């Protein structure tokens, strides 16, 4: 069964589409900038290595939740 959209105004629908497109474009731009920054790529590699070693803190540890 296909999902139906009911009781939504044109203005709200346009805003939803606009927000979705803006978020996607921001993500693409961020990806492009990251790929051109060797230090950023190295930091991702190090973070992944640390995670595999178990060298990280949980959300609860950091924020005392």
Measured CA to CA, the distance from residue 24 to residue 39 in angstroms comes to 24
Does an H or E element contain 30, and which? Answer: helix 10-35
Phi-psi region of 54 (alpha: psi -120 to 50; beta: other; left: phi over 0): left
User: How much is the pTM?
Assistant: 0.49
Residues 8-49 have pLDDT tens digits of 888 998 999 999 999 999 999 988 988 888 898 899 899 999
Q: Which tokens go with 34?
A: 């990251």
User: Quick check: 35 and 41 in contact, CB under 8 A?
Assistant: yes
């Amino acid at each position: 069964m296909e999902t139906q959209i009911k009781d939504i105004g044109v203005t709200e629908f346009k805003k939803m589409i606009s927000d979705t497109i803006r978020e996607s474009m921001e993500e693409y731009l961020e990806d492009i900038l990251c790929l051109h920054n060797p230090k950023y790529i190295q930091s991702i590699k190090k973070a992944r290595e640390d995670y595999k070693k178990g060298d990280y803190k949980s959300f609860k540890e950091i924020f005392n939740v």
